[in-house]
Structure 1
Amino acid sequence: MAKNQFTFNMTEGQLAETTQALDALESTLSELIGLDNAARRSLTKMGQGSEVFCRRALSGLQLNPQIVPPSLDVAVAISKLEALERLLPVVERLRRLAQRATDTQMAVGSDVMDAALEGYGLLKVSGKRQGLDALYRDLAARWAKPRRDSEAAVDA
């Protein structure tokens, strides 16, 4: 028997509202960038442990401008740190929401798969008597193992 453990229903209105909200987020956050894997790997990372280091270093440089070369724009670095502070709670909320959406997708998909598997079993047992053997064969292809080249050569 299908488990039917999870309930989720997205109405057309909710979908439209969600799409509109996502469009607004994408528009508002249009300055967000995308990096490829190579760029991600090559960047120097600032984790939670490095944040205090960065703050103290920038503060020390701001208090002692006589040691800062013209090539290092401390004011820009500080403004980026402030932008990062504003972005962090937004990213955390988006991450939590995305995780909940992924979990919901997985759970509801599991319920759908359970129901489909139960139906597949019913087709296997009593589908022939109902003229559903073609449907059963089509569905059985999902479970068919791919033939190896050596098996195909022996069958030929």
Structure 2
Amino acid sequence: KSNIGHLEGAAGIAGLLKTALAIWRRELPPSLNYEQPNPRIPLDELNLRVRTTAGAWPTPERPLVAGVSSFGMGGTNCHVVLAQHATTDSHPDHPAPADSAPQATQPATPSAVAWPVSGRTDQALRAQARRLHVQLADQPDVAPADIGFSLATTRAAFEHRAVAVG
């Protein structure tokens, strides 16, 4: 926040991004515009200090962990804990060549797919099921998953419902 100002409803995002970058860069950022401590906060007794210059994390051999708190004016409070991603890559700042990236795989074809059918009345539900049966008989090569997707996403759901498994 000290770098970019107060963002009102998105104020916590600045701290979240700053902390994520600090972990990624393995560098603690300074607190900008800090001049002197509040005399009511005993920094020495609490073993606290305000960072005025950038510096390395004190324990580089351990995974880095940091917390970010955001306190909203309306009483909404949030605390997020971020941790360094564990990696076995000896050069995490250098992406692997494109030809070494893992290849995407097609999802497995499901062995059974739900086909939702509905109607405003019991008779309408049965009529819809019959129409589906006729359609499937006319087009036997249509993938069951495609049928299920279309029935679930392009049809209204009425009060009388049934599910066929195909």
Instruction: Tell whether the structures are fold-level matches, with TM greater than 0.5.
Output: no
TM value normalised by structure 2: 0.22
Which structure shows the bigger proportion of residues in strand conformation? Answer: 2
Which structure shows the bigger proportion of residues in helix conformation? Answer: 1
